[in-house]
Amino acid sequence: MFYGSGLPDMYRHAATYVDKILNGAKPGDLPVEQPTKFSLVVNLKTARALGLNIPSSVLFRTDQILE
């Protein structure tokens, strides 16, 4: 299972910081920003190999299921 912010979103966020710094902002003055979009990914093949049973209530909430 993975729950977190995806790499494309993190890269976009980093690009925003770089743009602000290149336009003259001081890095120490920039606020710390938290991700706004999170995703839940479940790898069913690995879960089965480990003998884990993922409840259907969790599977309904996933953004991506790997089989």
SS3 per-residue string spanning 23-48: CCCCHHHCCCCCCCCCEEEEEHHHHH
Whether 9 shows a pLDDT value over 90: the answer reads: no
Whole-number pLDDT of residue 40: 95
26-62: pLDDT as tens digits: 999 999 888 888 999 999 999 999 999 999 999 999 9
Pairing of strands 2-4, 39-43: antiparallel
Confidence at 3, pLDDT banded by 50, 70, 90: very high
pTM of the model: 0.68
Q: Which two tokens stand for residue 54?
A: 């993922």
What is the per-residue pLDDT for 22? Answer: 97
